[in-house]
Amino acid sequence: MGFVCCVVATPTGSYWPFLGQFGVLVLVAAVAGLAPGRLLRALAVEVPFVAFALAMPFLATGPTTSVLGWQLSVAGLHGAVMLLAKSTLSVLAALILAATTEPPEFVSGLQRLRLPALMVEILGFMIRYLGLIAAQWRRMAIARVSRGFEGRNLRAWPALSGAVGSGFIRSYERGERVHLAMLARGYDGEMPAALGSSRSARPIEWAVAAGLVCGTAILSWWLR
Amino acid sequence: MHVPDGFLNLPTSAATGVVAAVGVGLALRGARRELNERTAPLAGLVAAFIFATQMLNFPVAAGTSGHLLGGALAAVLVGPWTATLCITVVLIAQAFLFADGGITALGTNVVLMALVGVWVGWGVFTLLRKVLPKKLVSVPIAAAVAGFVSVPTAALTFAVLFAIGGTVPVPATTVAIAMGSVHLLIGIGEALITAAVVSAVLAVRPDLVFGARSLNRITPLEIKESVPA
């Protein structure tokens, strides 16, 4: 079960203090992900995301890293490279997780990791509603464009803010309707046990996951 | 915006993780008071809304654009406890499913955005509501200031965390100045959007704005007994 492997491998994977482990961990991640077979194809699809993620440390965390870059201190450069390697590794691991795990499995996996039930329910509802709300945004965007809207500069803000406001009202009212419909169907504050296949990890899979993590740890320590 | 893996060292990440867990635990109890049995469905919806809103880009200038962070906005619209939960859930999903923000840095991100972002925003909002006249007009103003303050505060909190447990030796003041100044600008945008969204909601469904609840006559939903014919 790639899910368990990846979740366990990720936190350790991100803490290897040396660049030499980069290849090793990519290999481990690839092996862990390759188990379901279809992953290689999924990873190829995710390549643009990986490229984007590689650029992320530069873009998203601009202030600190660019300060480093301009100072050009040895420690700073070293740190920047390490940072990049580590975030790339963990992004890769997360992508493998996302590629191997369907949202329902992800939710039930978190449930088994003892995330509070309410959090799991909120997460489940969020994933269910996300498609609806994204579709609603798209409809509203099409409506805006058809009224001649162009999002070029600051003058677009009132229109967009109004859209966010009415988007909130529409979403919330939809939520109220759905909640009433759930009440009508006997909802009493707790979701019925999840239908479908929520199998737990077999002992052998736990063993493989643990072995992978230990192996990586030993290898990294040895290579340091 | 999200802190990636490997930015802060292990003890700091672990410490923020503990703080985040405690804060979310408290929020779980508080949210039941705010929403009772509707907690999960509506908090899930608000989380999805924030998630979707963060995908909506506001054009700034010269082709760049930014997006809403939504901590203060969520606190004003649905109440601080629910907002904390919603933003936490959004961050979990972003970290695991979209690789946005590191998994080991999840605790840090939750502390920065779901705890500091929401509660500083809410604190400023309630404080201003006490000072400003008790009218609907003052709600968006208070929300705007809350949005404006919450963003740079979260950024400065990050600068403090980085000074304690950063993996790269950069002078703390440099980080603080860089983060603070950039997020001051982001805060202005956040303030404008928050105010506009809150007033848009106030105009149509004032009962949906948690922060203006004291100004509304509350009409709770009731399921009536059927009357025999």
Interval A54-88: pLDDT, tens: 443 443 444 444 444 443 444 444 444 445 555 55
Q: How far is A198 from chain B (nearest CA, A)?
A: 18
Domain boundaries, chain B: 10-214
Averaged pLDDT, A191-219: 56
Please name the residue ranges forming H helices in chain A: 2-13, 21-34, 39-45, 47-59, 62-71, 74-100, 103-112, 117-146, 157-184, 203-223
B47 pLDDT band, cuts 50/70/90, is confident
What is the mean predicted confidence (pLDDT) over B63-86?
Answer: 74
Indicate whether A160 and A212 sit together in one domain: no
Q: Flag if A165 and B200 touch (Cβ within 8 Å).
A: yes
Q: Are residues A217 and A159 in the same domain?
A: no
Band the pLDDT of A175: cuts 50, 70, 90: confident
Same domain, A94 and A114: no
pLDDT of residue A57: 41
State both tokens at B89. 């859930």
A192 lies in some domain = no
Query: Residue A67: what pLDDT?
Result: 43
With CA atoms as reference, report the closest residue to B106 among A101, A108, A20, A10. A10
**Cβ of B1 and A163 within 8 Å?**
no
**Percent of chain B whose predicted confidence (pLDDT) is above 70:** 62
d(CA B172, CA B164): 9
Q: Do A165 and B198 touch (CB under 8 A)?
A: yes
pLDDT at residue A110 in the model: 67
Chain A nearest-CA residue for B199? A165
Nearest to B110 by CA among B24, B194, B49: B24
Residue B8 pairs in a beta bridge with: B166
CA of A191: which chain B residue's CA is closest?
B40
Q: Please give the share of chain A, as a percent, with pLDDT higher than 90.
A: 0
Which among B6, B55, B200 has the least Cβ separation from residue A162? B200
User: Helix or strand or coil: residue B83?
Assistant: helix
Q: Which domain holds residue A114?
A: 110-184
Residue A217 has pLDDT above 80, yes or no: no
Chain centroid to Cα B215, Å, comes to 23
For the cut 80, the answer to whether the pLDDT of residue B178 exceeds it is no
List Cβ neighbours of A48 (8 Å cut-off, separation of 6 or more): none
Q: What is the mean pLDDT of chain B?
A: 72
ipTM: 0.70
Number of domains in chain A: 2
Distance from CA of A207 to the nearest CA of B (A): 22
Mean pLDDT of B16-21: 72
- Where would I find the H helices in B79-224? 80-97, 106-109, 118-131, 138-165, 172-204
CA-CA-CA-CA dihedral for B99, A23, A208, B100, to nearest 10: -10
- Least confident range from A81-90, B94-103, B185-194: namely A81-90
Better-scored residue on pLDDT, B163 or B124:
B124
Q: Does A134 lie at the interface with B, CB-CB under 8 angstroms?
A: yes
Residue A166, pLDDT > 80, answer yes
Place of tokens 């929401």: B118
A130 touches chain B (CB under 8 A): yes
Maximum separation of any 2 CA atoms in chain B, in Å: 79
Put simply, the answer to whether A64 touches B200 (Cβ < 8 Å) is: no
- % residues pLDDT > 90 (chain B): 0
Task: Label residue A192 by pLDDT band (50, 70, 90).
Answer: low
Looking at the fold, whether A204 and A138 belong to one and the same domain comes out as no
The nearest alpha carbon in chain B to A141 belongs to: B56
pLDDT of residue A23 exceeding 60, the answer is no
Residue A50 has pLDDT above 80, yes or no: no
Measured CA to CA, the distance from residue B63 to residue B58 in angstroms comes to 10
CA–CA separation, A146 and B76 (whole Å): 32
Question: Is the Cβ pair A188, B49 closer than 8 Å?
Answer: no
Size of interface A-B (CB pairs under 8 A): 252
Distances in Å between the Cα of B214 and the Cα atoms of B38, B130, B135, B218 are 20, 12, 10, 9
Rounded CA-CA distance B186/B152 in Å is 8
* Structural domain B10-214, CATH architecture: Orthogonal Bundle (1.10)
